Amino acid sequence: NGCLKEEQRSRSTLRERFLRSLIAMAGKTVDFTMYERVSVTATFAASDIDILNFQVSHLQTPLGIQKEALLRCPDIIAYTFNL
């Protein structure tokens, strides 16, 4: 079935690109926009594969800096980083 094959190819291309973007983000400073208009900045380290948790360092919060932390991905609206 050519249609299914094409769909699988598109899906794997998108997935691979997304995974590579996460790998590229390791060690970079990332700005996170969270719910309730909270913005935080942290150094991204790693993500679990279900993209439920981001492990970060030097998390700058409105209440101070947390050396190591986990961010729940469902709490994040958007994130940006410079390549």
Report how far residue 19's alpha carbon sits from residue 23's, in angstroms, rounded to the nearest whole number. Answer: 6
The answer to whether residue 49 forms part of the interface with other proteins (CB under 8 A) is yes
The answer to whether residue 25 forms part of the interface with other proteins (CB under 8 A) is no
Torsion of CA 52, 53, 54, 57, to 10 degrees: 170
Residue from 31, 41, 61, 79 touching other proteins (CB under 8 A): that is: 61
Residues 40 and 34 sit within 8 Å (Cβ to Cβ): yes
Residues 30 and 41 sit within 8 Å (Cβ to Cβ): yes
The answer to whether residue 41 forms part of the interface with other proteins (CB under 8 A) is no
CB of 32 to other proteins, least distance (A): 10
Chain residues binding other proteins by CB under 8 A are 4-5, 8-9, 11-12, 15-16, 19, 22-23, 40, 45-49, 53, 55-57, 59, 61, 66, 68-72
